[in-house]
Structure 1
């Protein structure tokens, strides 16, 4: 089980690419021991925020704290032992096998001149098993399907064995079945291992179904944050996404489900 804490927070956070401000003046607390989904329109700063929260992008102003400690004052190894990251569209090393990729997750645990240990191998084997990739361990990653490749990268993050896991659009380019497979795996990791998870998602229904906490961004600012049932309503969707909709209980889970209102054009196309 994860240790108490694993609370990630941003205080007065500005994130820039050159002169362009992407995220501005953000104050945000992501609860420990929960699954948080970050949602918002395209180009609103979701992935940039995740890069800032993981120290891949230095803040132009403000701080990012992990359990009250500034992550920019932590050593790279200390942070890697606390926080695992699956970036958006990760670059796979040429001709690397699934097992070799997953073994990279053990790098933060290695010490100078220390051999590969039985504990390292157990962590790799367990990560492969949990992600359903054991049978693929000798396969080149670049020959896998999109869903298989995504699971291999999640296995790498699991082998890193951190209590805090951040996933940037883990369902991108996956069909519906593989999207649900990945999200079910995330839910299992949280429920069984107690991991704190922060993930960027596009689908509001999936975010509401799988997350305990929702963060909604608009133009680099915080539009709303809280339990999905408390923050996701028709007014929010209209103001943030510019979509008229109804928000009803999901018949399977009771979580909020966004139903866009039909326009005359859509109705005519459907009937044709």
Structure 2
């Protein structure tokens, strides 16, 4: 299976502070992986390490067995796309202008734009439902529309592996589900491998094939949500007493926090 990311004894730090500590991890290709854990446990830092935005202090990151840090930047950009947590929108750019930026890794000096590039942009706009917004300034869109435009950029990049850092942040429930449904469609219809950071455990269990649970920069659990997500894990990692029941809609695990007793 292609698009398998793995880490071996990976350590990531900011200054003197270790955020990810000696992590051994294998992320299956051809799957949706959700990375979950409490605040400041290293989720976004791990994604930055997987995208080569943060150099390891120790250990390695590999893509299909090849050292990520030895790959040419353009080669990596054709294989891996990243949507950061709070992307910075270029001033006064339209939706189509933003999506066109995704074609940068494919550009050549003597042939800066091609019919194939435009076709990739059109496919990305269509897939994300943003074609009718193509002439709209991105900074005037709603939160859900803006997130779709950024996902369209990553699609136009035409990579088989997508890293999404909290793609539902600041969105209301409807738009959270819209974005996650879009991610699921991209996986099912186009075969994209997805690794995404999520906060909501129920959504992670519903949409992911593989769950990675981080705690204090280390791996607490990894595997199919139905096998790893239980009440003991949630209380140990999140410090929340709960029951884990079966979601009546999907059959996936659903975390129900225990009610606080009245004083």
Smaller-chain TM-score range?
over 0.9
Q: Which residue is equivalent to 1:86?
A: 83
* TM-score in terms of structure 2 length: 0.99
Number of paired residues?
263
Q: Given the alignment, which residue of 206, 213, 230 partners 2:227?
A: 230
Instruction: Please name the residue that 2:139 is paired with.
Output: 142
Residue 248 of structure 2 is aligned with which of 235, 246, 251? Answer: 251
Match of 1:131 in 2: 128
Unmatched tracts of structure 1, length 5 or more: none
Alpha-carbon shift at residue 111 of structure 1 (Å) = 1.1
Counterpart check, 1:47 vs 2:44: yes
Q: Secondary structure at the match of 1:167?
A: strand
Is 1:261 aligned to 2:258, yes or no?
Answer: yes
Q: Does 1:177 align with 2:188?
A: no
- In 2, distance between residues paired with 1:140 and 1:99? 9
The one of 229, 238, 241 equivalent to 1:241 is 238
5 Å-filtered alignment, 1:1-272, equals: 4-265=1-262
1:59 counterpart SS class? coil
Q: Which runs of no fewer than 5 residues in structure 2 stay unpaired?
A: none
Q: CA deviation at 1:156?
A: 0.0
4+ runs deviating over 4 angstroms: none
Give the TM-score, by structure 1 length: 0.96
Give how far 1:115 is off: 3.6
**2-side partners of 1:53 and 1:115: how far apart?**
29
Three-state SS of the structure 2 residue aligned to 1:198 is strand
RMSD, aligned CA = 0.7
Provide the secondary structure at the position in 1 that maps to 2:119.
helix
1:89-124: per-residue Cα shift (whole Å, max 9, x none)?
100000000000000000001111114111111100
